[in-house]
Amino acid sequence: MPDAEDGNIHAISDHPLTPAQAWVRLMEGNQRFVASAASHPNQDASRRTSLLTTQHPFALIFGCSDSRLAAEIIFDLGLGDAFVIRTAGHVIDNTVLGSLEYGVEYLDVPLIVVLGHDSCGAVTATRDAVATGEMPGGFVRDLVEKVTPSVLTALRRDQDSTLDDMIEEHVRETAARLVENSPIIANAVTRQRTAVVGLTYHLDEGRAELVYSNGALTVGL
């Protein structure tokens, strides 16, 4: 058993054991950020030293690459707290799934978060492409093609869907696809080792809002 001089003890003891505990910690951090009362935890030299040979993040955050969506800041996190993956429009590919599965299977992370946001450029470009029939060039086209099903789903539900409606739908569909496409993630959710949530971040308030939940959390939509 490690003693007080062992740098690993802090990281191990700081790891929430359940998805519900991880959820509470994540949202407490966002509440501090919204209130301009961030505590900037786990950002000192002792924390850095404790992570030299191990890591025990409590959240896997798969978010959009947008520069306004820095997960560690908006959830008031520090070193070793979150395993973060980002793509434009939080678009899924095999490397994203592999990274998430690594976090679940090898790091035992209890909470997966899909993080979207207001004014998402990828969803905006997709909405415009669907409306005009004109696809962007280069590899941006690949992004738009992968976001298109979410936009079409929102429009089928309501032809007057707003951009925010489409963004929320894309977050929900992305989160659901993680469970559908990955047996490792699905098994962890079934065993209540991991929960998957979808959040939309409001740029003006700094608030993250729950729009999807799958797993053992004491929250409702």
pLDDT tens digits, 2-32: 333 333 333 344 566 799 999 999 999 999 9
State whether CATH 3.60.21.10 applies to domain 8-213: no
Q: What dihedral do alpha carbons 23, 64, 104, 215 form, nearest 10°? A: 40
Up-side HSE of residue 150: CA atoms within 13 Å toward CB?
A: 32
Q: Is the pLDDT of residue 182 over 70?
A: yes
Model's pTM, two decimal places?
0.89
Tokens representing residue 10 in the block = 């802090």
Q: Worst-scoring range by mean pLDDT, 15-19, 80-84, 170-174, 179-183?
A: 15-19
Q: State the pairing for strand pair 82-87/59-64.
A: parallel
Tokens representing residue 151 in the block = 């936009």
Q: How far apart are CA 151 and CA 166, in angstroms?
A: 5
